[in-house]
Amino acid sequence: MSETNNGGRRRKTPNYTQGHKYEPTDADRAQVRGRAQIGTPHEDIAFMLDISVETLRRHYVDELRRGRVVAQDIVRQLALDQARGIRRWQDPVTRVETLEKVEPSVTMTIWLTKVWLGWKEHMVHEHEFDINIRNMGTEELERELATYLRSKGNGARPGAEAATEAGKPPGVLH
């Protein structure tokens, strides 16, 4: 990084403003891949490498994509393991992965069925009266609804019958 004078204040600017040609190294590629795997934003990865986001995307296309795909696979595996009741962990010394049976997550199972299988929750509305509303006109439907509401003790809106008889829709009293 170099320092520039910006109105009397000094600030550090990345070297990519100096016009040199960038050549990625194997170590840089490994760092980009690792950062992409944990979801680090491209802007932050570019800042860490002291390059522009455009340069990052131009030189590290495969690393950025592979890193994102690996991260998504890890998250998918964790979600599936939670739903199945499996806990994975790796011994830091031997690097041996161990599976442990735990309580399955019902919430994760429901979420996975919705996302992966396209399942949806449907609301079922049941009515106690049997009326075929498809063939009814508006006035007939309003009369049936008012009758139903009166039978349930809810009553119709005051003046609804008078307004209907006067040729106005229910609720219109003037």
pLDDT tens by residue, 35-86: 999 989 999 999 999 999 999 999 999 999 998 899 889 889 999 999 999 9
Split into its structural domains, the chain has a count of 2
Domain extent for 151: 133-165
Q: Is 113 inside any structural domain?
A: yes
List CB contacts of 90: < 8 A, sequence separation 6 or more. Answer: 96, 97, 98
Is the same domain home to 51 and 108? yes
Is the same domain home to 79 and 145? no
Compute how many other C-beta atoms are within 10 angstroms of the C-beta atom of residue 28. Answer: 19
Is the same domain home to 66 and 23? yes
Q: Is 122 inside any structural domain?
A: no
- Which two three-digit tokens encode residue 164? 């209907």
pTM over 0.75: no
Is the same domain home to 156 and 104? no
Q: Is 151 inside any structural domain?
A: yes
Position 134 scores a pLDDT of 74
Is the same domain home to 112 and 141? no
Is the same domain home to 12 and 93? yes
Q: How many CA atoms lie within 13 A of 31 on its CB side?
A: 14
Q: Is 124 inside any structural domain?
A: no
Is the same domain home to 27 and 109? yes
Compute how many other C-beta atoms are within 10 angstroms of the C-beta atom of residue 52. Answer: 16
Give residue-wise pLDDT tens across range 105-151. 999 999 998 888 888 877 666 656 566 777 778 888 888 888 878 88
Is the same domain home to 10 and 78? yes
Is the same domain home to 77 and 20? yes
